[in-house]
Amino acid sequence: MRANNLRPDSRGGHHVLALQTLHNSIGYPREKLRLLDEFRRQRATGLYDGSFVPTQAELDELRATAADLKAHLEAWLIKHHPELSAVK
């Protein structure tokens, strides 16, 4: 969002907003965003009622998706905003 001169405010929901904009802002696939959003929802609910106990398989899938998102973002930055890229 910042690379596109946007910034969510700190009111509730800014994490959801950041996730929801990744498809339009950097072209990240919606199906991969669904996994991140579902895990975010489960975590948010589970922290309140004590039911948040992810399996190792869920954690592995989440780590792989996070690594994929990082790689996608780095490639997008190099292409669209090389001055902002940490990868040189």
Write down the pTM of the prediction.
Answer: 0.77
Look at residue 72 in the predicted model and tell me its pLDDT.
Answer: 96
Write the DSSP assignment of the chain as a string of letters: -GGGT----SSTTHHHHHHHHHHHHH---HHHHHHHHHHHHHHHHHHHHT-----HHHHHHHHHHHHHHHHHHHHHHHHH-GGG-S--
pLDDT tens for residues 17-49?
A: 788 889 988 999 999 999 999 998 888 888 888
